[in-house]
Amino acid sequence: MAIKPVSKENWRSFINDGCIEENNMPNELIDSWKLCRQQGVNPFNGVADRILDENDLKQRLKKNQLLIDLAEPHINKLGRFLRGWKFITVLTDKDGYILRSNGDRSVKQEANGIQFYEGAKWDEAEVGSNAIGLAQRFIKSFAIRGFEHFAVASQMWNCSASPILDHNKNLLGILNISSLYPSINHNYVLASVKLAADSISLNWRNKIQEDIELLMKNKYSLDPHSVVCTSDHIVYSLPRELLPSYHKYIGEPLKKFREEVKLCEIDIPITTGNRVIGYRIPIDMAEEEEASSVYFQGVTGTSKSFQKVLEAVRKVAPTNAAVHIYGETGTGKELVAQAIHENSSRADGPYVSLNCGAIPEQLLESELFGYEPGAFTGASKKGYKGKLEMADGGTLFLDEIGDMSESMQVALLRVLQQKELTRIGGDHSIKVNVRIISAANVDIRKLVQQGKMREDLFYRIYVFPITVPPLRERKEDIKALIKDYCRRTNWYPGWLNKLETIFTKGSWSGNIRELHNALERCNILFSDITPTDKDLHELMSSWDQFNQSDSGETFADFREQLEYNNIQQALTNNNGNVPQAAKELRISRSTLYRKMKRYNL
């Protein structure tokens, strides 16, 4: 037998003197009426007053996008179940803000009259006793009809609501059906809403399980310098070095772990598509003698000058600001660019690198913008996606941007302004969302003064400049760099202290790249013997010896020395025949001519 709804007389009696005459009211509803009376809710109003503005609503919708996506098919199915009965379906978040409202047009118009629409907060404190508010507070399903509503604005309505719960049984939101017309079967409507809400809860749990499986496969789950947590900030994995002491925190809230271990304040999202599935939080895993060191992928240092670089990376990485990196050749500009990308919200997106000085001007345009099939003689029949397209949703690193011609500067500026490009030979625009990080080993401010760089492009790329100091200005980092190399190569010679002492005295005009080359040679030459001090001094100073050779050329690092030697040898082998030398070197003629010009050969 159906329970008789609360009468108008009973509602009036309670409003006037606080008495409840009928004994068929659920205890939760009585409690709700009393709470509304205590909180001073106006029983003669009940129109929603707290409405989100456009920006706040967008943020709330974005935050609850997964809930909305999972609820959509079930809301549509409810519409088919209850076809013929005029109603609207409402989805709220856990705070009672309406995220979605869908249903009969005439019913929606009536709902708009009491501001029962997207962005409105619909809970007991705002509008009095209602199905959404009761479901929110008691975490159970409720049907509230007519005068069971505390405030008059809702008393024309019949509502059924059910909570949606996450994998930890916490409230995610509420699914509600409201109508101005009495249902032929209130129990059927309530059961339908509860079934839909339970199905959404189940879908949520399945999706979270999928997210955890994705985290298992994610590269950051093995990051030796980061804590990984789920989207609801539950610790999922710890660096290997911390496991013996802190394994008990796996499965615990991140907040608890933060109380024990110093973590970065920035939680870097791990995403799949447009959805966050977890967070990565960098942690200082430095050894005792490197207590102030902050680790990024491939970057390390303890000096004050390099700490400034890392502090700049911390601050700018979470933003979308364009970054320009200045530093001598070999100082690790691209490593800093990669650190910015890896510590940003774009970390799951592509990281694409292009050296503007290494590609002839006629090829740079197709490299950047791509081309359509058959756009020019020799073009691929499949066309080509340029670096800007490849980097969509991620980061494009433009090294040696100072070498870019004025015509290419104009074309790049247009893309940065309009956020779209047209492939060579194409006739339609392609939207791109790319963060630009540029670098140069010259001060591009001087290039602007000399008229070699457009001022408008300069202001686009020089938003957040970072200067990477040369190794000679941060010699205290040499030991840290040597230890970093040893860790990555699993090479720990017994004469490591002697190596550190001697190499710390070097000038390292080729910077980190030259230091790594010297360490590589040490690893090869002295894998099973101990070098003398003279051996190490010779390795460290081989660059200076080479500079004093008859070539008269100067080089950035050992790799350039080898390249110079190889080109010189190939030209000698082929009696100066450039095409034959290029064939021997397995590079194009144009590339060989460019390198010959570079080395004055």
CATH code at 334? 3.40.50.300
- At residue 430, the pLDDT reads 92
Radius of gyration of the chain (CA): 33
pLDDT tier, 229 (very low <50, low <70, confident <90, very high otherwise): confident
Tell me the per-residue pLDDT of 240-293, one tens digit each, with 9 for 90 and over. Answer: 777 777 888 888 888 888 887 777 777 778 877 767 888 888 775 443 333 333
Is the residue at 250 inside a domain?
yes
- At residue 552, the pLDDT reads 47
Tell me the per-residue pLDDT of 298-356, one tens digit each, with 9 for 90 and over. Answer: 556 778 888 899 889 989 999 999 999 999 988 889 989 998 998 888 988 999 999 99
Per-residue DSSP letter, 234: B
Residue 136 has pLDDT above 90, yes or no: yes
Both 441 and 535 in one domain: the answer is: no
- At residue 21, the pLDDT reads 72
- At residue 548, the pLDDT reads 43
Sheet with 395-399, strands from edge to edge, namely 351-355, 395-399, 435-440, 323-326, 464-467
Both 17 and 50 in one domain: the answer is: yes
Q: 3-class DSSP state for residue 493?
A: coil
Domain of 405, in residue numbers: 306-469
Is the residue at 42 inside a domain?
yes
Is the residue at 207 inside a domain?
no
Both 108 and 242 in one domain: the answer is: no
Is the residue at 94 inside a domain?
yes
- The CA distances from residue 324 to 312, 329, 398, 444, 460, in Å, are 12, 15, 9, 10, 10
131 or 238, which is more confident? 131
- At residue 417, the pLDDT reads 93
Residue 135 has pLDDT above 70, yes or no: yes
Q: Range with the lowest mean pLDDT among 125-129, 237-241, 330-334, 530-534?
A: 237-241
423 or 268, which is more confident? 423
Chain mean pLDDT for the chain: 84
Both 498 and 454 in one domain: the answer is: no
Percent of the chain with pLDDT over 70: 90
Is the residue at 295 inside a domain?
no
Last residue of a domain, one of 147, 170, 202: 202
Both 226 and 195 in one domain: the answer is: no
Start-to-end CA span in the chain (Å):
101
- At residue 285, the pLDDT reads 44
Tokens 């189940």 belong to 202
Both 139 and 252 in one domain: the answer is: no
Q: What is the rounded CA–CA span in Å between residue 312 and residue 296?
A: 13
Q: Range with the lowest mean pLDDT among 335-349, 371-385, 411-425?
A: 371-385
- At residue 546, the pLDDT reads 43
**Residue of 392, 372, 373 whose CA lies nearest to 436:** 392
Strands 464-467 and 420-421: unpaired
Q: State residue 494 phi and psi, 5-degree precision.
A: -65, -15
Last residue of a domain, one of 446, 469, 492: 469
- At residue 56, the pLDDT reads 92
CATH number at residue 593: 1.10.10
Q: What is the rounded CA–CA span in Å between residue 81 and residue 424?
A: 53
Give the start-end residues of each E strand in 455-571. 464-467
Q: State residue 76 phi and psi, 5-degree precision.
A: -65, -40
Is the residue at 268 inside a domain?
yes
Residue 36 has pLDDT above 50, yes or no: yes
- The CA distances from residue 564 to 286, 409, 547, in Å, are 39, 30, 12
pLDDT tier, 549 (very low <50, low <70, confident <90, very high otherwise): very low
Is the residue at 300 inside a domain?
no
Both 196 and 81 in one domain: the answer is: yes
Sheet with 171-179, strands from edge to edge, namely 98-103, 88-93, 171-179, 158-165, 142-145
Percent of the chain with pLDDT over 90: 39
- At residue 290, the pLDDT reads 39
Q: Range with the lowest mean pLDDT among 148-157, 230-239, 573-582?
A: 573-582
Both 347 and 425 in one domain: the answer is: yes
pLDDT tier, 530 (very low <50, low <70, confident <90, very high otherwise): confident
- At residue 219, the pLDDT reads 63
- At residue 541, the pLDDT reads 56
Residue 402 has pLDDT above 80, yes or no: yes
Residue 223 has pLDDT above 80, yes or no: no
Q: Range with the lowest mean pLDDT among 13-22, 211-220, 348-357, 456-465?
A: 211-220
Both 77 and 197 in one domain: the answer is: yes
CATH number at residue 114: 3.30.450.40
Counted domains in the chain: 5
Both 453 and 319 in one domain: the answer is: yes
Both 163 and 235 in one domain: the answer is: no
pLDDT tier, 172 (very low <50, low <70, confident <90, very high otherwise): very high
- At residue 496, the pLDDT reads 82
Is the residue at 55 inside a domain?
yes
pLDDT tier, 140 (very low <50, low <70, confident <90, very high otherwise): very high
Both 270 and 319 in one domain: the answer is: no
Last residue of a domain, one of 421, 444, 469: 469
- At residue 299, the pLDDT reads 57
